[in-house]
Amino acid sequence: MVAAGVAMPADVQGVFVHGNRLQLARELAGRVRELSQLIVWRGLVAIAVDWAMISVSFALALSLPNPVVWIAAALVIATRQHALSILMHDASHFRLLSSRVWNDRLSNWLLAYPLLVTTEGYRKNHLAHHLHLNTEADPDWVRKAGKRDWKFPKSKRALLLLLARDFCGGGFVDMLKAIVNLRGEKSVERAAQTRHYVIGRCLYYAVAAAAIMAAGLWLPVLVLWYLPAFTVLPVILRIRSIAEHFGLEAEHDLNMSRNTTCPLWERVLLAPHNIGYHLDHHIFPSVPFYNLPRLSSLLMGVPEYAALAHQNDQYLGVSRRSVLANITNRASDASS
């Protein structure tokens, strides 16, 4: 798998397991360099749209004190929290702004800090995941491999119980563990979290808390921001994480991850900002989220890729090409 850098990898031929690798590299290199170019306004618009949806949800809930409206607002906010985390993921690859300093500042202020994590901590974990996918050096794999929750296939009943556990608080505990893990090793903390960095983050939270208290919004923030973050968001993250690397053949680079090209409602709820193109992202992490559909079309023109890449057309659909079909055992459902 190609290393998780920000520039176009020179060794692109290594992503294919058959064919004339050098020829494929030469044919793709120019197009991938083009697709790897940042279009800064597209990332900024995506951030603005997500925060606008969050703001509108808060406004509607405050103006219409109806439980149904508050529940709907909380659900929308949870999906946008997920969307913000996807944009932070792009920022961890320096795919948001051309200036690395401002890339991280903007990502922390608008994407990471509101979710109680840091871009730098996430980057350390995530780039190791890219470089050592599904090996003992992959922190995500080590955290999940062999655990009962991450063994597939399983029955639909077992899957529903797992998601219900996440919704009822189990996912909250897992998120706290993940947040602690994202702090990284002490050497990395010393390099990234200087006194100025730590003071800046503390000041950020102090100003945010003061503004919330001054506006008398502490209860709406608690109910509409933190409650969804620790109930609905873990369920979404679980489904996406399963879809990215589980229920797969794992025979070669092109089926250790999957692409999920899903209908609009699933893109809104589960796969914002083209995150469903996860296999393509692992192959060419230099390509920002808004160019992933074009990258996928380009790769589908390569016969080796088209024949070997693991592709799904839904997350939760009943078709045999859905992720759900890949990760559930029908025999287990029939006997349960």
Question: pLDDT category, 12, cuts 50, 70, 90?
Answer: very low
Q: Is the pLDDT of residue 305 over 60?
A: yes
Exposure b/e, 81-95, CB count within 10 A at least 16 = b:
bbbbbbbbbbbbbbb
Q: pLDDT by residue (tens digit) across 97-131?
A: 999 999 999 999 999 999 999 999 999 889 999 99
pLDDT at residue 16 above 70?
A: no
d(CA 139, CA 145): 10
pLDDT at 302: 86
**pLDDT band with cut points at 50, 70 and 90 for residue 143:** confident
Q: Compute the distance between CA of residue 320 and CA of residue 332 in angstroms, rounded to an integer.
A: 16
Query: pLDDT tens across 233-258, in order?
Result: 999 999 999 999 999 988 888 889 99
- Report pLDDT digits (tens) over 63-82: 998 999 999 999 999 999 99
> What is the three-state SS of the chain?
CCCCCCCCCCCHHHHCCCCCHHHHHHHHHHHHHHHCCCCHHHHHHHHHHHHHHHHHHHHHHHHCCCHHHHHHHHHHHHHHHHHHHHHHHHHHCCCCCCCHHHHHHHHHHHHHHHHCCCHHHHHHHHHHHHHCCCCCCCHHHHHHCCCHHHCCCECHHHHHHHHHHHHHHHHHHHHHHHHHHCCCCHHHHHHHCCHHHHHHHHHHHHHHHHHHHHCCCHHHHHHHHHHHHCCHHHHHHHHHHHHHHCCCCCCCHHHCCCEECCCHHHHHHCCHHHCCEHHHHHHCCCCCHHHHHHHHHHHHCCHHHHHHCCEECECCCCCCCEHHHHHECHHHHHHC
Residue 24's pLDDT is: 54
Which tokens go with 222?
């608690």
Residue 233: predicted pLDDT: 95
Average pLDDT score over residue span 277-295: 95
Segment 155-194, tens digit of pLDDT: 999 999 999 999 998 876 776 666 666 554 444 444 455 7
Q: Where are the domains of the chain?
A: 12-335
Question: Are the C-beta atoms of 92 and 127 separated by less than 8 Å?
Answer: yes
Please report which confidence band the pLDDT of residue 29 belongs to, taking 50, 70 and 90 as the band edges.
Answer: confident
**Average per-residue pLDDT in the chain?**
86
